[in-house]
């Protein structure tokens, strides 16, 4: 059990302006689940990119010793050949290819260059059974949910005879059920002698499955905790991550709840492609000033669709129903009208809908509200820089400066940029779709504080979240959505995980 399969020694990796990794040591033992935790921008993803050859040998300093030999990977193919497979923070499947085709992409079952479809399907079938996914190998990847896509990624990794599986925040986009399935799968792999490295901000999961935990902070290894010898608790991990104690997970609330600010009646949305599919079915909801309203539900239960269709009909077709803002019927037919009506929607998918990745932090923050930083159409650069710096400070965004491109920020810091951008728009009603996805515990707390402050200022906040503890800890009132319908409504006082789950199922 204790023989070391991987040893990374003195790894240092610098980007222009930042030292992302600073003399990091990292050991993984044969057949263990090794969790890698740390704040946003601590260097977790970067370390794994070094390991898997995405940053080739020579791009970093230090040594990688794998199965007793020093390795110098020049590209991903090299590390895969050695049995190291990485599954990225963002999934890398081709949507319009089938599950089987995706599994064997780059590794096709063929003879003389002609694909052997029989073998492809049969082997895919077997792999799908191993990961516990009951879908036909011929199904297109776009037709299955994120949870299942994650399993396809794992099946793909298995097809490469994986020895060391790296998962970068695999459960960030999954609901509890799917996360649970995935973690069980990792435990099963462990029995078969496959080691895994698990990056996650969900410390309860880490605590549950990890044999060792390595904590990174600011690009340095803080410590490696061994969970097999002693009990490790979350507080201990958090202390290592943020360098201090975090006594409360959720800040105190003191907002006064006022009059109704948003009311939605009989909101119905159809699927943009499948005309007969109703994604949101006669949803009703009310939101008051000073209130934090939670929407719970499974992935695909229509939460995001409801939010996006309200926000300038950005999703769906044949949208019917009425929305009242401050008592008056509101026209939300375009994004601009929705913004003018005081609405803001912070997306769950920051790379596709949230950020212009090629642009810098500053330009992303001011994009929605350029009028605010310009005089008669000409941008006042001073004002803009000032403002961007203000948000950088307020949200503690880690970047070398506000002129850094957002594509180079860590996942959590990108999320903070998206949040800043919408706060800068100065909305009255905020819809936050999975606002803490991929965000570390410390930063989560900061975001909760901001949410509470917004509520105290008399704004209405809707939080869509798949993390039930978050919904319970943060919200005054909770709607539960299930299959496009609002299935139930609970007050904070009466709500519990069990009650919510009952409505969901």
Ligand X SMILES: Nc1ncnc2c1ncn2[C@@H]1O[C@H](COP(=O)(O)OP(=O)(O)OP(=O)(O)O)[C@@H](O)[C@H]1O
Per rule CB under 8 A, is residue 401 in the interface with other proteins?
A: yes
Report the distance separating Cα 202 and Cα 465, nearest Å.
14
Binder of residue 353, out of ligand X, other proteins, Mg ion, none (CB less than 5 to 8 A by kind): other proteins
Q: Which residue has the tokens 């993390």?
A: 467
Q: Minimum distance from CB of 467 to Mg ion (Å)?
A: 18
Residues 421-480 that bind other proteins (CB under 8 A): 421
Cβ partners under 8 Å of residue 303, min gap 6: 295, 297, 433, 464, 481
In the sheet that holds 69-70, the strands lie side by side as 18-29, 4-15, 61-66, 69-70
Binder of residue 403, out of Mg ion, other proteins, ligand X, none (CB less than 5 to 8 A by kind): other proteins
Lay out the site mask for other proteins across 14-43 (x = CB under 8 A, - = otherwise): --x---------------------------
Report the distance separating Cα 245 and Cα 360, nearest Å.
33
Q: Minimum distance from CB of 289 to other proteins (Å)?
A: 23
Nearer to ligand X, 23 or 314 (CB): 23
Q: Minimum distance from CB of 263 to Mg ion (Å)?
A: 39
Among 122, 403, 492, 501, binds other proteins (CB under 8 A): 403
Closest CA to 258 of 490, 476, 479: 476
Per rule CB under 5 A, is residue 45 in the interface with Mg ion?
A: yes
Contact 247, 441 (CB under 8 A): no
Per rule CB under 8 A, is residue 374 in the interface with other proteins?
A: yes
Closest CA to 43 of 241, 216, 237, 169: 216
Lay out the site mask for other proteins across 58-77 (x = CB under 8 A, - = otherwise): --------------------
Binder of residue 401, out of other proteins, Mg ion, ligand X, none (CB less than 5 to 8 A by kind): other proteins
Contact 250, 474 (CB under 8 A): yes
And the tokens for 238? Answer: 């958090």
Q: Minimum distance from CB of 422 to other proteins (Å)?
A: 9
Contact 490, 478 (CB under 8 A): yes
Nearer to other proteins, 462 or 504 (CB): 462
Residues 450, 451, 453, 458, CA torsion sign: positive
Q: Minimum distance from CB of 66 to other proteins (Å)?
A: 26
Residues 321, 325, 330, 335, CA torsion sign: negative
Considering only the stretches 6-14, 25-33, 71-79, 370-378, report the one whose residues sit in contact with other proteins under the rule CB under 8 A: 370-378
Binder of residue 352, out of other proteins, ligand X, Mg ion, none (CB less than 5 to 8 A by kind): other proteins
Per rule CB under 8 A, is residue 382 in the interface with other proteins?
A: yes
Binder of residue 385, out of other proteins, Mg ion, ligand X, none (CB less than 5 to 8 A by kind): other proteins
Binder of residue 270, out of Mg ion, ligand X, other proteins, none (CB less than 5 to 8 A by kind): none
Residues 111, 115, 117, 122, CA torsion sign: positive
Report the distance separating Cα 153 and Cα 122, nearest Å.
17
Question: Can you give the binding site for ligand X, defined by CB under 6 A?
Answer: 15, 18, 20, 38, 40-46, 398, 408-413
Residues 122-151 that bind other proteins (CB under 8 A): none
Nearer to other proteins, 401 or 491 (CB): 401
Residue 113: is it exposed, middle or buried by C-beta count within 10 angstroms (0-12/13-18/19+)?
Answer: exposed
Among 240, 312, 354, 411, binds Mg ion (CB under 5 A): 411
Q: Minimum distance from CB of 300 to other proteins (Å)?
A: 20
Report the distance separating Cα 163 and Cα 166, nearest Å.
10
Nearer to other proteins, 115 or 356 (CB): 356
Determine the longest span between alpha carbons in the chain, in angstroms: 72
Residue 373: is it exposed, middle or buried by C-beta count within 10 angstroms (0-12/13-18/19+)?
Answer: buried
Nearer to Mg ion, 170 or 427 (CB): 170
Among 314, 321, 485, 501, binds other proteins (CB under 8 A): 314
Binder of residue 335, out of Mg ion, other proteins, ligand X, none (CB less than 5 to 8 A by kind): other proteins
Give the residue nearest to Mg ion (CB): 45
- Measured torsion, CA atoms of residues 90, 95, 101, 106, in degrees rounded to the nearest 10: -50
3-state secondary structure of 211: coil
Q: Name the H helices within 343-491.
A: 361-366, 381-395, 411-424, 441-456, 468-474
Residues 319-358 that bind other proteins (CB under 8 A): 335-336, 339, 345, 347, 352-358
Could you list the residues that contact other proteins (CB under 8 A)? Answer: 16, 311-312, 314, 335-336, 339, 345, 347, 352-359, 363, 367-368, 370-371, 374, 377-379, 381-382, 385, 389, 401, 403, 421
Could you list the residues that contact Mg ion (CB under 5 A)? Answer: 45, 411
């Amino acid at each position: 059990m204790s023989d070391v399969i991987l040893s990374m020694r003195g790894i240092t990796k610098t980007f222009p302006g930042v030292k992302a990794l600073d003399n990091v040591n990292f050991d993984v033992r044969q057949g263990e689940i090794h969790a890698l935790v740390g704040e946003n921008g601590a260097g977790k993803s970067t370390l794994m990119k070094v390991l898997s050859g995405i940053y080739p040998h020579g791009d970093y300093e230090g040594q990688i010793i794998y199965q007793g030999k020093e390795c110098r990977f020049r590209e991903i193919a090299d590390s895969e050949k050695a049995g190291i497979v990485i599954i990225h923070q963002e999934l890398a499947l081709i949507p319009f290819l089938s599950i089987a085709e995706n599994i064997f992409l780059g590794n096709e079952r063929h003879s003389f260059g002609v694909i052997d479809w029989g073998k492809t399907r049969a082997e895919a079938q077997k792999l799908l059974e191993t990961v516990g996914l009951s879908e036909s190998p011929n199904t297109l990847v776009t037709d299955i949910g994120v949870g299942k896509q994650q399993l396809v990624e794992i099946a793909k990794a298995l097809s490469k005879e994986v020895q060391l599986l790296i998962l970068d925040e695999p459960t960030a986009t999954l609901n509890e059920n799917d996360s649970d399935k995935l973690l069980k799968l990792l435990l099963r792999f462990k029995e078969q002698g496959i080691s895994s490295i698990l990056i996650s901000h969900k410390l309860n999961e880490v605590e549950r499955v990890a044999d060792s935990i390595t904590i990174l902070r600011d690009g340095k290894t803080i410590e490696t905790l061994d969970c097999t010898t002693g009990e490790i608790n979350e507080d201990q991990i958090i202390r290592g991550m943020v360098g201090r104690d975090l006594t409360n997970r959720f800040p105190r609330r003191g907002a006064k709840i006022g009059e109704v600010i948003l009311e939605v009646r009989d909101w119905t949305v159809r699927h943009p492609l499948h005309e007969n599919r109703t994604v949101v079915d006669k949803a009703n909801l009310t939101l008051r000033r000073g209130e934090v309203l939670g929407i719970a539900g499974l992935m695909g239960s229509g939460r995001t669709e409801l939010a996006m269709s309200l926000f300038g009909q950005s999703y769906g077709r044949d949208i019917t129903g009425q929305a009242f803002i401050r008592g008056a019927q509101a026209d939300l037919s375009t994004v601009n009208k929705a913004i003018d009506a005081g609405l803001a929607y912070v997306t769950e998918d920051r790379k596709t809908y949230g950020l212009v990745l090629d642009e810098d932090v500053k330009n992303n923050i001011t994009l929605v509200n350029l009028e605010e930083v310009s005089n008669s159409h000409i941008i006042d650069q001073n004002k803009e820089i000032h403002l961007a710096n203000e948000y950088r400070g307020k949200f503690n965004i880690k970047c070398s400066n506000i002129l850094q491109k957002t594509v180079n920020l860590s996942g959590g810091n990108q999320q903070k940029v998206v949040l800043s951008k919408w706060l800068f728009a100065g909305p009255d009603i905020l819809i936050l779709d999975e606002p803490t996805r991929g965000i570390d515990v410390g930063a989560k707390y900061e975001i909760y504080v901001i949410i509470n402050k917004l509520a105290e200022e008399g704004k209405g906040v809707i939080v869509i979240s798949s993390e039930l503890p978050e919904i319970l800890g943060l919200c005054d009132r909770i709607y539960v959505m299930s299959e496009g319908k609002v299935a139930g409504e609970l007050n904070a006082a009466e709500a519990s995980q069990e009650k919510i789950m009952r409505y969901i199922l």
